[in-house]
Amino acid sequence: MAGIDPSREFIPLCIAVLTVSDTRSFADDRSGATLVERIETAGHHLAARAIVTDDVEKIRTQVRGWTADAGVDVVITTGGTGFTGRDVTPEAVEPLFEKRMDGFATLFLLVSERKIGTSAIQTRATAGVAGATYIFCLPGSPGACRDAWDEILVHQLDYRHRPCNFVEIMPRLDEHLRRGKAAGGPMKS
């Protein structure tokens, strides 16, 4: 049965939040603020927060920098996953993936469909692993950020969640690279 195993200790992760928008600032970034609030309420640490415009190179540079940083376990982006001409987050981030997480996109679509019906088909949410860092690219609405966090990420980023979770496999994410970013496990502070 899925749920929290009380015999396991919670392990806080260091999570960076990137808002992709041509118009938002920290003062009116409701999606980024929603993620930050949920990350901190869950007991994780906000490693960094940034806003970049809908530009492939700016998005890729920011995400690449965080995946190279041993102090960042997870990157969550919000914005730029739709179909308009300026929506380029998947194009910017997916080439960085060493491994794709197709199940995240599928599960997010199922969660979204329950909330917004067939409009859920308009998302290009995506996820993967790069540099022993989990990356989740979410739509730019506060509701989508809430849904992704509350229905998926809060569970998978909790070491106590059973039957399995992303945290418990973090020490092995980069074993194929033999460089050891995750060798110490998810205990970075």
pLDDT at 178: 53
Mean pLDDT within 140-145: 96
pLDDT at 177: 62
Out of 3.40.980.10, 3.30.70.20, 3.40.718.10, 3.40.50.300, which CATH number does the structure's domain 10-172 have? 3.40.980.10
Stretch among 15-19, 50-54, 128-132, 171-175 having the lowest mean pLDDT: 171-175
Grouping H, G, I as helix, E, B as strand and the rest as coil, residue 79 is coil
Mean pLDDT within 142-167: 97
pLDDT at 174: 79
Among 164, 159, 86, 79, which residue's Cα sits nearest to residue 123? Answer: 79
Q: How many CA atoms lie within 13 A of 35 on its CB side?
A: 32
pLDDT reading at 187 higher than 50: no
Mean pLDDT within 73-97: 96
pLDDT reading at 127 higher than 90: yes
Mean pLDDT within 85-89: 95
Q: How many CA atoms lie within 13 A of 84 on its CB side?
A: 10
Tens-digit pLDDT profile for residues 5-52: 999 999 999 999 999 999 999 999 999 999 999 999 999 999 999 999
Q: Which residues of 110-144 are buried (b: 16+ CB within 10 A; e: fewer)?
A: ebbeeebeeebeebbbbbbbbbbbbbbbbbbbbeb
Distances (CA, A) of 44 to 14, 15, 26: 6, 7, 20
Per the model's pLDDT, the better-predicted residue between 1 and 134 turns out to be 134
pTM of the model as a whole: 0.92
User: What's the pLDDT band for 97 if we cut at 50, 70, 90?
Assistant: very high
pLDDT at 2: 84
